[in-house]
Amino acid sequence: MSILKKSSTVRFLAQTIFLLLCSAMTVWASGPKDPSPHGTNIFAPASTPAKSIADLSVLVLVITGIIFVVVFVLLVYSVVKFRGRAKDAGREPAQVYGSTQIELAWTIIPILIVVVLFLATARVIHAIQDAPEPAGAVQVTVIGHQYWWEFRYPKLGIVTANELHIPVSDPGHPTPTFLQLLSADTDHSFWVPELAGKTDLIPNHPNRMWMDPQRTGIFLGQCAQYCGTQHAKMLLRVSVDGPQDFAVWVRAQQGPAVEDAGAIAGRRVFESNACMNCHAVAGTAADGRFGPDLTHLMSRVTIAAGAAKNTHDNLRLWIQDPSAIKPGSLMPAMKLSDTDLDAVVSYMETLR
């Protein structure tokens, strides 16, 4: 913020208020002491777009804070100083109708403030929205579905769901991720607060956003645009991996599904029921597109778009009765026999 640099007082104020805010935030944000995942605090940015937004926010907070203090003091002063007293009863105060000079002052000063705020804002808008896509960028197509996320990496040939993996970006050698945002049904919004502001996924209206995380770890977020019954449980996990980890993950995802002879019964149940109409498992007959790709299901930490941990019991419950975990989910209860259910769950558990 060049405006901040010009005045050390303003800078000091900015830092003080920012620190106060941050400490307040951390107090509130401190849930269970889990080193990962990261929280969802917009004032704890880990990527350039989120960082420039946080910086701009501090400038806006400082200016509005000063306006607040000035007007608040005027208001309190006039209420206290000019309160009616018993000795004045029956007498009217001097009748003042206005003052052109004062009116001009409190018109022109706000106009100047608006100009400053607007210029600072326009710079950040341009810097974030019009950033060119460098050659080394990772491209991901994000497709919003009721109520889950599909992630496709067109250059890498990967299809996955709900848990986005992207590489950490070293400022000296940036590898940002550029997302193309599409929707298969209603409007959604991709929001991972510590990585970037949100952008909507709208059918027939492709959008774009980018992020260049500078810290590894899990970043949480969720759908921010109301998209239907289970909008609340359309959660997002972004795993920011180191370069090696990311390469390993890419290789693993590119492979076909593991074929495990021990799970052949479950695979048969999967392929002879409606499962395969909606779900795909690469290298098999299942190529449905309505639900998440299950080729590497066990590489994901959660199921049902983050609504539950990916454990044996949860998987079983989910297949048996999705509404027990996520009422309103579009996955139907499959009404399988216990034997079939166990078989299908064992099959799922081989899809690493």
The answer to whether 156 touches 254, Cβ cutoff 8 Å, is yes
Give the contact letters, 130-169, x = binds to other proteins (CB under 8 A), - = no: x---------------x-----------------------
Stretch that binds other proteins, among 122-130, 159-167, 240-248, 284-292 (CB under 8 A): 122-130
Stretch that binds other proteins, among 112-120, 171-179, 256-264, 282-290 (CB under 8 A): 112-120
Classify residue 119 as exposed, middle or buried by CB count within 10 Å of its CB (0-12, 13-18, 19+).
exposed
Stretch that binds other proteins, among 5-13, 75-83, 238-246, 282-290 (CB under 8 A): 75-83
Is position 121 an interface residue for other proteins (rule: CB under 8 A)? yes
Number of residues that bind other proteins (CB under 8 A): 98
**Other C-beta atoms lying within 10 Å of the C-beta of residue 320:** 16
Pairing of strands 308-309, 302-303: antiparallel
State which of residues 7, 12, 226, 311 lies at the interface with other proteins (CB under 8 A): 226
Is position 338 an interface residue for other proteins (rule: CB under 8 A)? no
Distance separating alpha carbons of residues 350 and 281, to the nearest angstrom: 12
Is position 29 an interface residue for other proteins (rule: CB under 8 A)? yes
For residue 87, CA distances in Å to 56, 83, 235 come to 51, 12, 65
Distance separating alpha carbons of residues 42 and 59, to the nearest angstrom: 15
What are 166's two structure tokens?
Answer: 């992207």
What are 285's two structure tokens?
Answer: 């007959």
State which of residues 23, 129, 272, 277 lies at the interface with other proteins (CB under 8 A): 129
Distance separating alpha carbons of residues 285 and 270, to the nearest angstrom: 10
Footprint of other proteins on residues 79-98 (CB under 8 A)?
79, 82-85, 88, 91-98
Closest CB 260 distance from other proteins, rounded Å: 33
Stretch that binds other proteins, among 5-13, 225-233, 256-264, 278-286 (CB under 8 A): 225-233
Task: Return the number of the residue (20 or 248) whose C-beta is nearest other proteins.
Answer: 20
Footprint of other proteins on residues 312-331 (CB under 8 A)?
327-328
What are 194's two structure tokens?
Answer: 């510590």
The answer to whether 253 touches 296, Cβ cutoff 8 Å, is yes
